Amino acid sequence: MTDSDKDTFTLADALQGGPGLDGYAFQADVYCVPCGQDHVRIAFFARPTVDWNTFRDSEEVPQPIFFGESETEQCCADCGEHLYGPEAGKDLQGFIDEHRTELSITIWKQVPNIPLDDDALGQWIANDEGLYNWAREEGYEV
């Protein structure tokens, strides 16, 4: 690569990706890899090479997101695929809401007729290895 080549990027460069590629940021949205690469192709269609300053601006060219982290759920703006961050409804309360009946039956088999409000169910899930593992296997944050 010559020095002049270092200042330009091609479509192949933008689509290269690599380990940890979670998606693309473009115009204040995030996109999964396939949808983001569609946006990359569209952005590059108008110009076959893009200078480095334009390439670094997510308003102009979709930017790759590697090993994305977020405190909130991030989903593709086009297809809705979950990209990274905690999934909505995948917290402890979501697990309790989805499995309240099964949880109650399981616990009552061990300790019949104890009151089981959300706090009690949460305590059982946190302290019972089987319930804890069940919640984690289904992707819930416990």
Three-state helix/strand/coil letters over 47-86: CCEEEHHHHCCCCCCCEEEECCCCCCCEECCCCCCEEECC
pLDDT confidence bin for 82, thresholds 50/70/90? confident
User: Residue 31, SS3?
Assistant: strand
34 has pLDDT over 70: yes
What is the residue type of 56? R
Lowest mean pLDDT among 1-10, 27-36, 45-54, 72-81: 1-10
More confident residue, 57 or 107: 107
Confidence of residue 54 (pLDDT cuts 50, 70, 90): low
Q: Identify the band that residue 96 occupies on the pLDDT scale cut at 50, 70 and 90.
A: very high
User: What pTM did the predictor assign?
Assistant: 0.55
Q: 79: Cβ–Cβ under 8 A, 6 or more apart, which residues?
A: 32, 34, 35
The encoded tokens of residue 33 equal 């890899």
